[in-house]
Amino acid sequence: MKVITSGKIPVKMWLDDIESGALNQAVNLSNLPFAFSHIAIMPDAHEGYGMPIGGVLATDGVIIPNAVGVDIGCGMCAVKTNLSHVDKKRLKKMLDELRKVIPLGFSHHKHPQDKSLMPDIRGKMEVVEREYRSALTQIGTLGGGNHFIEIQKGNDGFIWLMIHSGSRNIGYKVADHYNKLAKKKKDKFRNSLPPSWQLDFLLSGSEEGKNYTNEMNYCIDFAFANRKLMMSRFKNIFSDNCGDNTVSFSPLINIAHNYAATETHFGKKVVVHRKGATSAKKGETGIIPGSQGSKSYIVRGLGNPDSFESCSHGAGRKMGRKEAVRKLKFDDELYKLEKQGILHSLFRKKDLDEAAGAYKDISVVMENQKDLVTVIVELSPLAVVKA
């Protein structure tokens, strides 16, 4: 752990190779008058809007929409099967069927899904109520970017199914609405913060703060419901292709990595913002995915107080999307995947934004957080679906 002390409170970092933009954002966080104890920067950190992705911020009395991010509740789910092998012919057929059943990228379902699949609306939810009808066509859809569906082989000898996805457009709308609302709030306290920091906040006890928290929590629940529906359909496809009556699945593991929650740390109740960071309480089971073509991990949290009981949410980008398309060589990235025998989603040059070369080395990331989590199962990719 490296410690930066140039701000009002320390910045504790689990990496050495942090980019300058992300470091500047971390120092900005450390100078917030309401930031508590220290800032924690995970080993997958890179620059985001206002706050590094891979950052953990605890605040006293305020909540910051940009410290949660626009894909509220984005996270991972995984299940272990009882099978130890699936041949490539079946894998290819499953990928084809997944692409037909689960809309990818900007695509939605043509018809609304059953309302019983949606979380209950409780209390005042201005944005959620406005977006509800649209969300009915988005539940059970993957989205784009770094979201994926993957079939993996664990070093425990079993086949695993994994999904990475979030709250789709409803999460973006909630984040955008409340960030704009926070920007409009003006007082002496707020005016002391440079607008360039992009860290506009709401008082957590105010009406706006409570409304954001309520709608944020709905989006977390929606993101989970979205993953659950996709996983249900994923399991059906897997069972149909691998001998219906012989396949069984372990209980679902689910964990989010874009949210804020009230927790107690160092004897004080605070709002912990995890933006691209995962809860890693002592004994808690989590998921840390790699990039396309690299390993993922089922982990157990060690409850390290210095990280606010958190860990990384993945490998973390080392190149921006446009930079990756510009700099990476398509044939080289394709060779890496095909050498491993992975059924991948790298079809054209523009797909290089999600190539393994655009991400940090997940093995280094995992080594850097050995004091945050312990690995339970190491998972190697067999087949990947991306937008």
The per-residue pLDDT for range 124-135, each reduced to its tens digit, is 899 999 999 999
Q: Taking the CB of residue 249, how many other CB atoms lie within 10 A of it?
A: 17
What is the pLDDT at residue 376? 98
Please identify every residue annotated as catalytic: 313
Q: Which tokens belong to 280?
A: 């890693």
CA 280 – CA 308 distance, rounded (Å)? 9
pTM for the structure as a whole: 0.96
Closest C-alpha among 327, 331, 303, 330 to residue 317: 327
Q: pLDDT tens-digit profile of 50-63?
A: 999 999 999 999 99
Q: Are 62 and 204 in contact (CB under 8 A)?
A: yes
Q: pLDDT tens-digit profile of 71-125?
A: 999 999 999 999 999 999 999 999 999 999 999 999 999 999 999 999 999 888 9
What is the pLDDT at residue 246? 85
Q: pLDDT tens-digit profile of 216-225?
A: 999 999 999 9
What is the pLDDT at residue 190? 79
In order of their start, the domains of the chain are: 2-318+359-385 (3.90.1860.10)
What is the pLDDT at residue 387? 87
Q: pLDDT tens-digit profile of 271-313?
A: 999 999 999 999 999 999 998 889 999 999 999 999 999 999 9
Percentage of the chain exceeding pLDDT 90: 94
Q: Which tokens belong to 139?
A: 């539940």
Q: Are 216 and 208 in contact (CB under 8 A)?
A: no
Q: pLDDT tens-digit profile of 158-197?
A: 999 999 999 999 999 999 999 999 999 877 777 788 999 9
Model confidence at 244: pLDDT above 80: no
Q: Are 302 and 371 in contact (CB under 8 A)?
A: yes
Closest C-alpha among 232, 242, 245, 292 to residue 89: 242
What is the pLDDT at residue 280? 98
Phi, psi of 319 (to 5 degrees): -135, 145
